[in-house]
Amino acid sequence: MSTAEASATAITTTWPAGFPADAKGINGFAVREVDAPAEAVYQWLLRPDLQTEFYGALRGVRGKGDAWPALSAGATISFFIGPLFIPPMKVLRADPQLLSVAWGSKAPGFQACHCFTVQAIDSKRSVLRSDETWVGPVARAIGPLTKGVLQKVQTDWCTAVARAATTHPSGPPA
């Protein structure tokens, strides 16, 4: 097994505090090897407003927070994925030490969290994982109808961030 293959299988998601990731729900995830340093990939994760160039289904990215348009913990973010509006969610983590960004929301009977994690393979390559989990009775009810869509979003978004970071391996343009 190559170093990249080993890294891809070893990368895991550490969910933000307060999110019950072990609860029964629905999940979608994707893992991509990226020809860019881990720090550059992480910087791309902080700029979803610039990811729209690489992920056509993502549009209308809006946010509020001290560092906007870069994401920071405590900020809010909303966007469209295709025709679906994703209402404002709180950025739960933007951690340069963990190389992880996560946002989520809670509503009666439903909690959702999307977490991106980057791991260095070496100084020029990294692995990116995009992971989203929905929990609660509403998630269990809609899960059979939405599982494929949730998985596709993770796959497409992970691929888009990998493409952005590979295209601009020193990070997002100023």
Q: Tell me the pLDDT tens digit for each residue of 68-119.
A: 999 999 999 999 999 999 999 999 999 999 999 999 999 999 999 999 999 9
Quick one: which of 8, 20, 6, 5 has its CA closest to 127?
8
Would you list the domain boundaries of the chain? 3-14+25-56+97-167
* Listed range (61-75, 117-131, 140-154) with the worst mean pLDDT: 140-154
pTM for this prediction: 0.91
Neighbours of 94 (CB within 10 A): 21
Q: Is residue 10 over pLDDT 90?
A: no
Give the pLDDT confidence score for residue 2 in this predicted structure. 55
CATH superfamily of 3-14+25-56+97-167: START domain (3.30.530.20)
